[in-house]
Amino acid sequence: MLVKILGIFDLFVALILFLLALEVGIPLVLILIIIILLAVKSLPFILSFDIASIIDLFVAIFILINLIFGLPTILLIIAALAIGQKGVFSLL
């Protein structure tokens, strides 16, 4: 059950990344909460080199870099696809 909840969260993050790529206004507080939750979600498993946790941490850092510097749209879409496919496979 927990895996499915985390999968739904991953799909939500993918949706937020797509909206960021389309330059839709997302509240900064929501983006910061997503960054924190993704980082916290990935930290317990990062030492085992679990690829899913590495993707979570990578996307959290990626969103943070996007907030600071702004990234090209294609990179945001690639990150959204990576975390989105992880979310879809969690729901299967």
Mean pLDDT of each 10-residue bin along the chain, 92 residues long: 93 95 92 94 84 90 92 93 95 92
The predicted structure's pLDDT at residue 27:
94
The predicted structure's pLDDT at residue 49:
83
Residue 86 token pair:
């992880």
Delimit the domains of the chain by residue range.
Answer: 2-91
Q: Is the dihedral of CA 31, 42, 80, 7 positive or negative?
A: negative
Cα–Cα dist 67/31, whole Å: 9
